[in-house]
Amino acid sequence: MKARAHVRISGYVTGVFFRYQTRELAQRLGLRGWVRNTSDGQVEAVFEGGKEAVEHMLEFCHRGPSGARVTDVEIKWEQPRGEFSGFEARYGR
């Protein structure tokens, strides 16, 4: 079963390799989508793929890399769209 989650992660989440580790894990899990830092200091991402892989990614988002301190993860479940060819870390805010 396919799933898609659009997430915003709050806390101490920029400057701690959150995007890099998110991209690496998402690629290993075979997910498609993107991750980026936002202008208000959050991390935003879209994960699309198998439901179990998306749920595994969301577990990572709740803890982040070792230097992060996640305080909130806002999850919006959406219909899978199949619009991505891979998973990328986006730059710029």
> Tens digit of pLDDT for each residue in 35-50?
999 999 999 999 999 9
Is 74:7 a contact under the CB 8 Å cutoff? yes
Identify whether 81 is a catalytic site residue.
Answer: no
What mean pLDDT comes out for the span 58-75?
97
Where in the chain are the domains? 2-78
Pick 2-78's CATH classification: 3.90.600.10, 3.30.70.100, 3.40.50.300, 1.10.10.10.
Answer: 3.30.70.100
By DSSP bridging, strand 32-37 and strand 87-89 are: parallel
Of 31, 24, 25, give the one whose Cα is nearest residue 2.
31
Q: Which of 4, 8, 19, 36 is catalytic?
A: 19
Dihedral in degrees, nearest 10, Cα atoms 60, 66, 67, 71: 40
pLDDT band at 91 (very low <50, low <70, confident <90, very high): confident
Q: Which of 37, 69, 90, 93 is catalytic?
A: 37
Q: How many residues does the chain have?
A: 93
| pLDDT tens readout for residues 7-26 | 999 999 999 999 999 999 99
> pTM for this one?
0.95
DSSP annotation of 30: T
